[in-house]
Amino acid sequence: MTLRIEFSPQDLTKITISRTPDPLWETLLALHLVNAKATSVAFRRWCGATQLSGAAKQLLLLAPAQGYSPDFLTPAEGAAGLDAGLDAVLTTPRARLRTEMGKLGAGHRLGPWARDVADGRSPAMQNLSVAIREFHRGVLEPRWSYITSRVNSDRARRTEALATDGVGSLLTGLHPSLRWQAPHLELAGQHVNGDLRLQGRGLRLIPSFFCRGVPTVLEDADLAPVLVYPIDGGSSWLAPHSVRPDPEDHAPLIALLGPTRAKVLVAAAAGCTTTELGQRAAISPASASYHATVLREAGLLTTRRNGMSVQHDLTALGSALLDGQLTL
């Protein structure tokens, strides 16, 4: 199936890319992964380690692994941060709650709490807000700086693509399931179908760390249009406070690169400057720069100037090597 997103000339001037991760989209998509038990090795490890509070477990009812999830869980106000997004969730009109929860209930059995949310009952809505906040604090916040670094890196690449090669290159470069046939952007997937006419409203592109598979959109075409697309999540995000390769987990990597260079590769997984790279790997900046150059020439790192500093990130090859997806 295919969704055709129709752009007017005005819409082409109103394409925006989110500057930061959207906390409510990341929450919803992470919940999808928990329900799906995830597919990649990294995400399976993350899901297995995730401990949800009693309140947060209720959120799983609203985020089935496949199919519809209510649009009110990801309001446009989430772009301004978690607090602004939750305020918007709590003030969702009751008529909209009933409509969207009704769609969810058509494919999944709703319990008493979910039915109370559908009715907009204050205790249930407050419980929903608490559950989202607890999930975000317990599961996402420990990794938020890393998630932000991946989103920033992706946004820099997209901005460069737009400036260098134009709108078509930007849009089709977001994901292989997207095809630009002016004035339409076609999104192929089993989860979408029909037409979305932007009609001068523009399109907000949301790079997402927890979006897996193919890009997604809101169900309701009358809402502010968004296109949420997956980014390269990199590696080593499961243990954001540790950059030292574990001897057991990274023995093949250490055997291939040596202990120092392996530490540098792990340290770069979260994205960092040369100074930060040295600090994380416990080596001098000069040594960090040297090892980063070797890894870059091997196709494992990218390096770009960011103001007065130099930013290092893993390439897809470097991520695959660190995730153990390549045979050494």
Q: What is the pLDDT of residue 190?
A: 81
E strand residue ranges, the chain: 2-6, 15-17, 178-181, 184-188, 194-197, 203-208, 226-230, 272-273, 301-306, 309-314
Report how far residue 1's alpha carbon sits from residue 272's, in angstroms, rounded to the nearest whole number.
40
User: What is the predicted pLDDT for the residue at 250?
Assistant: 64
Q: Which residues in the chain show pLDDT less than 50?
A: 235, 239-248, 325-328
In this structure, the number of other CB atoms found within 10 A of the CB of residue 16 comes to: 12
The per-residue pLDDT for range 88-144, each reduced to its tens digit, is 999 999 999 999 999 998 877 888 999 999 999 999 999 999 999 999 988 888 788
Cα 119 → chain centroid = 31
Pairing of strands 178-181, 272-273: unpaired
The answer to whether the beta carbons of residues 231 and 255 sit under 8 Å apart is no
Q: What single-letter DSSP state applies at residue 137?
A: I
pLDDT at residue number 91: 96
Residues 6+ apart with CB under 8 A from 146: 234, 237, 240, 270, 271
DSSP symbol at 245 = P
> Scanning the structure block, which residue is given the tokens 């040596």?
258
d(CA 159, CA 3): 24
Name the residue among 248, 239, 304, 227 with its Cα closest to residue 266.
239
- Average pLDDT along the chain: 85
Provide the token pair at 276.
């930060």
Q: How confident is the model at residue 325, as a pLDDT?
A: 46
Give the angle subtended at the CA of 273 by the CAs of 208 and 27, to the nearest 5°: 20
In a 3-state reduction of DSSP, which class is residue 69? coil
Gyration radius from the chain CA atoms: 21
